């Protein structure tokens, strides 16, 4: 959520075409046709990848949102809208991994505090050099992620976030969420989406080492929502 303007390029799909080889004997009028199935890449004209200018625009919007959030933090101090962070220690020392159930529980509790837009998350549940990724790219650093989340919250007047479902896997947990907000721009745009986040756990510490966001909406749709004025 903190990098709400972030997007990525798509890779063209492949589809099969059939080529024909024709043998025409000189002694008869019959034409013998042998059909050979072979997969060929589709031409650039038939594919519909996102254009370079469009990708550049989305990248600019992503970096612009981070800078805009930083600028907003000077105008509207985070302490005026964001609750203090949770200073919870999940492990007394680093001699053994943190129990997975404890980390998952703190993540679910952080969802209740809408950590994506408040930055109010349990820091001890994550590695300091945790990788945070979304469709546009990734960066490492827990403090940077917290700052981006907090600053993004400064651009929002009202928000609603809910963890819909949690799934446990061998090396990760997946939280499916629903999110909506009214942004504090003059035209009061409404941002609404669903998606899921993958939390990968470090084998040695048990903490989250990768935090990967996925949005269940087209890439340009998010940007269009932000640019579209609300209907009152």
pLDDT by residue for the chain (232 residues), tens only, comes to 655 444 333 334 444 444 444 444 444 444 444 444 444 443 333 334 455 555 555 555 555 555 554 555 555 555 545 555 556 778 766 678 999 999 999 999 999 999 998 889 999 999 999 999 987 778 999 999 998 888 888 888 889 999 999 999 999 999 999 999 999 889 999 999 999 999 999 999 999 999 999 999 887 788 889 889 987 6
| Strand segments (E) across 63-171 | 126-134, 137-140, 156-168
| The predicted structure's pLDDT at residue 98 | 93
- Token pair listed for 220: 């340009």
Cβ atoms of residues 191 and 229 within 8 Å: no
Separation in Å, CA 193 to CA 72, 90, 127, 190, 196: 24, 32, 28, 10, 10
Residue 27, classed as helix, strand or coil, is coil
| The predicted structure's pLDDT at residue 151 | 85
Reported as type and span, the H/E element at residue 175 is: strand 172-183
| The predicted structure's pLDDT at residue 16 | 44
Separation in Å, CA 112 to CA 28, 107, 224: 80, 9, 28
pTM of the model: 0.69
> What span, in angstroms and rounded, lies between the C-alpha atoms of 56 and 53?
5
Compute φ and ψ for 2, nearest 5 degrees.
Answer: -60, -30
Q: At what angle do helices 142-153 and 52-75 cross, to 10 degrees?
A: 80
Cβ atoms of residues 208 and 103 within 8 Å: yes
> What span, in angstroms and rounded, lies between the C-alpha atoms of 136 and 58?
8
| The predicted structure's pLDDT at residue 187 | 93
| The predicted structure's pLDDT at residue 219 | 72
| The predicted structure's pLDDT at residue 220 | 78
What residues have CB less than 8 Å from 196, skipping those under 6 apart?
Answer: 174, 175, 176, 177, 214, 216
């Amino acid at each position: 959520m903190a990098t709400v303007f972030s997007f990525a390029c798509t890779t063209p799909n492949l589809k099969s075409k059939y080529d024909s080889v024709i043998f025409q004997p000189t002694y008869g009028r019959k034409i013998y046709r042998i059909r050979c199935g072979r997969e060929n890449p589709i031409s650039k004209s038939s594919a519909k990848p996102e254009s370079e200018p469009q990708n550049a625009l989305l990248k600019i919007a992503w970096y612009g949102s981070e800078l805009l959030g930083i600028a907003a933090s000077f105008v509207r101090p985070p302490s005026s809208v964001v609750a203090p962070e949770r200073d919870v220690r999940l492990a007394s020392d680093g001699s053994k991994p943190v129990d997975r159930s404890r980390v998952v529980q703190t993540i679910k509790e952080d969802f209740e505090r809408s950590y994506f837009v408040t930055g109010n998350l349990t820091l001890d549940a994550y590695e300091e050099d945790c990788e945070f990724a979304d469709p546009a790219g990734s960066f490492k650093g827990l403090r940077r992620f917290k700052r981006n989340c907090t600053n993004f919250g400064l651009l929002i007047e009202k928000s609603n976030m809910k963890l819909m479902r949690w799934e446990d896997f061998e090396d990760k947990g997946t939280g499916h969420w629903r999110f909506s907000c009214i942004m504090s721009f003059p035209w009061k745009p409404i941002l609404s989406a669903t998606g899921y986040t993958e939390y990968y756990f470090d084998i040695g510490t048990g903490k989250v080492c990768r935090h990967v966001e996925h949005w269940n909406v087209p890439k340009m749709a998010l940007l269009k929502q932000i640019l579209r004025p609300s209907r009152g």
